Structure 1
Amino acid sequence: MVSTETSLLLACSNNLAAAVEQVASAVVAVNARQRIPSSGVHWHSGVVVTTDRALKREEEITVTLCDNRTVPATVAGRDSSTDLAVLKLPETNFPTAGIGDSKSLKVGHIVLAVGRSGENGISASMGVINAVGGAWRSWYDGQIDQFIRPDLTFYPGFSGGPLVDATGCVVGINTSGLSRRSNITLPITTVNRVVSQLLEKERITRGYLGLGMQPVHLPDNLQQTLNLQTNTGVIIVNVKPDGPGDRAGVMIGDILIALDGTPMRDSAQVLAMLEPERINQTLNAAMIRGGNLVQVAITVGDRSMKF
């Protein structure tokens, strides 16, 4: 006689296996590097999402489908800042992924990482959500809408594959390329935004000032003299010739303390002000120059990141 506890465990096991089976038909192997292929997800008809780092070459790329057929693929666009890439396929008559809601994830939720290799087929790893958080920027200046860190094993080839909830819905794309300390998952909102822009423009557009900068502490006497409400800013250490900052008259040694009235304490805050909608708009920069407070109008430029 099977105990109640055993029945519950068996039901849970069957449900997880069903979740993997549900998503497996949309998970592909991306053959764009030597040795172990990466994984990808058939996001919508003829469009596969994978990681940028999965593509070690941009020609002679193939994708292995769920029925073990291998078809050619072309690069539609890639973005190193979010570690996402988009492939176009001539083959469209196989299932697309069921997309879930990454915003519903909570610490402790059971999740599955799923991958596909050319030889061994589908693989899965089970764990829980270790941490969730708000929007953040990658080391490469990519805007990630939500921080998601699963506590599970990313086996070789899992990067570019989906993170799946207990219902079999995809809640993000797994990557090992953005964090120096751990594997993370890119949320659905980020994937959809980047995929849409890559398919439309083949590139990612970002605002650009043409300035190199680093945080600096402001001396107490300078704060008092200028009646400043902040004790930090960012000092300009490089000005790109003929860049937006150069054309506005920004000089090396200037200390930026605010943009459009928002205090700037580090370069990440500056970058956060340079979303695509800011391109060609003018920002009012409050700066300290030679011990005096000056105002500089900078028109945000367009830094296009093409693959």
Structure 2
Amino acid sequence: MDATNDLSVLSAMSTQMADAVERVGQSLVMVNGRQRQSASGVVYAPNTILTADHVLEREEDLTIETPDQRKLPARFAGRDSATDLAILDVPDLGLDPATTTDVARVGQFVLAVGRPTSDGPMASLGIVSAVGGPVRTQRGAMLEQYIRTDATPYPGFSGGPLTSTDGTVLGIVTTGLVGGVALAVPSPIAWRIAETLTQHGTVKRGFLGLSCQPVPLPDQYRQGREQERGLLVVRVEDDSPAEKGGLLLGDVIITLDGNNLSDTDDLQALLTGNRVGQAVPVEVVRGGTPQTLQVTIGQRK
């Protein structure tokens, strides 16, 4: 009886997995945007595909293939290289957008799903190994959260979904974020970026034009602060926002726009698009004397 029950549970689980792949597969397309390996894409909105940026080696002569094997021209509509996401416009796509879910839990079963060939969807089973962040991407931006899984992302899976066992999308799989490691951009972040790309074609990211490293703050500057370190400026680029704002080599930055800075990740997290073009107060220690400068945040190109 126990063996029979075990088989019944396994059979039910197997059916659920297959149903999940079938469900998400209705919103999954093959993307042809590079010379060799095709990739995958998810229907984000009517006539809009969300995919990985690194799989688009060109912006012209793009095509997608739908689950019913229609080959359709696609128009490049925007990219955010920092998070390795891009969108394509496909008139008359005629596919329902994927359904997303917001919460990934460590240990839950997931499916990495892709459509790298015309043979239909491919899938790989695993678990959520970690939900972490922020992490610095290889393009220098900060991704506030990522999902890591041991589900194998086969060639061509980039741009496809990491899917829960009910067929809802937890994130977009990519190997283009951190040194070829397969991670997923959580769907709330990916969909937010896709919305920005739909409206503007790009995502604004702040830029100061300096290099710095954490250093301990002298005791006299720790009084009344829950802060033990600041950021020592070790390089200032010519004609950069930092130089124009008066930052000098050897300054120790303590705060930016009222926010404590203890490491470079703190700084990157504050250089968001809504601060681009704004003059913000930057508190520094220079030669043992605290000063406050006004620095206008530039836009990373």
TM-score (norm 1): 0.89
Alignment correspondent of 1:199: 198
Equivalent position amino acid for 2:213 in 1: P
Structure 2 unaligned spans of 5+? none
Tell me by how many angstroms 1:291 deviates: 3.3
Residues 32 and 295 (structure 1), Cα distance of their counterparts in 2 relative to 1, 3 Å cut:
same
Give per-residue Cα distances to partners, 1:185-215, cap 9 Å, x unaligned.
Answer: 1111111111111111111112222x32121
Q: How many residues align?
A: 298
Aligned partner letter, 2:295: I
Q: Which amino acid aligns with 1:94?
A: L
Confirm whether residue 284 of structure 1 aligns to residue 246 of structure 2. Answer: no
Contact 2:213 2:234 survives alignment (8 Å): no
Q: 1: CA distance between counterparts of 2:222 and 2:32? A: 60
Question: In 1, Cα distance between the equivalents of 2:94 and 2:214?
Answer: 56
Secondary structure of 2:96's counterpart equals coil
The CA deviation at 1:78 is 0.6
Matches within 5 A, 1:228-307: 230-303=227-300, 305=301
Equivalent-residue separation in structure 1 for 2:7 and 2:165 (angstroms): 19
Q: CA deviation at 1:8?
A: 1.3
- After TM superposition, the structure 1 = structure 2 runs for residues 52-91 of structure 1, keeping only pairs within 5 Å, are 52-91=53-92
* Aligned equivalents of 1:96, 1:181: Cα separation in 2: 28
- Cα distance between partner residues in 1 of 2:229 and 2:89: 47
The answer for the alignment partner of 1:23 in structure 2 is: 24
d(CA) in 1 for partners of 2:216, 2:127: 44
Aligned equivalent of 2:120: 121
- Partners in 1 of 2:117 and 2:40 — Cα distance? 9
Contact map agreement 1:116 1:123 (CA 8 A) in 2: yes
Which deviates the most, 268-277 or 240-249?
A: 240-249
What is the Cα deviation at residue 25 of structure 1? 1.6
Counterpart residue type for residue 210 of structure 2: G
Query: In structure 2, the residue corresponding to 1:73 is in which secondary structure?
Result: strand
1:247-268 residue CA offsets vs partner (Å, 9 max, x unmatched)? 2222223221222343322222
Q: CA deviation at 1:226?
A: 5.3
1:120-149 Cα distance to aligned partner (Å, 9 max, x none): 321000011111135444232434342211
1:23 to partner: Cα distance = 1.0
CA shift, 1:216, in A, is 4.0
1:1-20 CA-to-partner distances (Å, cap 9, x unmatched) read 98121111111101110110
Specify the SS of the correspondent of 2:194.
Answer: helix
User: What letter is aligned with 2:211?
Assistant: M
Amino acid at match of 2:34: R
Q: Deviations over 1:145-193 (max 9, x none)?
A: 4221111101000111001101111111001111237311111111111
Secondary structure, counterpart of 1:217 in structure 2: strand
User: Mapping of 1:85-234 within 5 angstroms?
Assistant: 85-101=86-102, 103=103, 105-180=104-179, 182-209=181-208, 211-218=209-216, 223-224=218-219, 230-234=227-231
Quickly say closer, same or farther: Cα 1:226–1:27, change in 2 above 3 A: closer
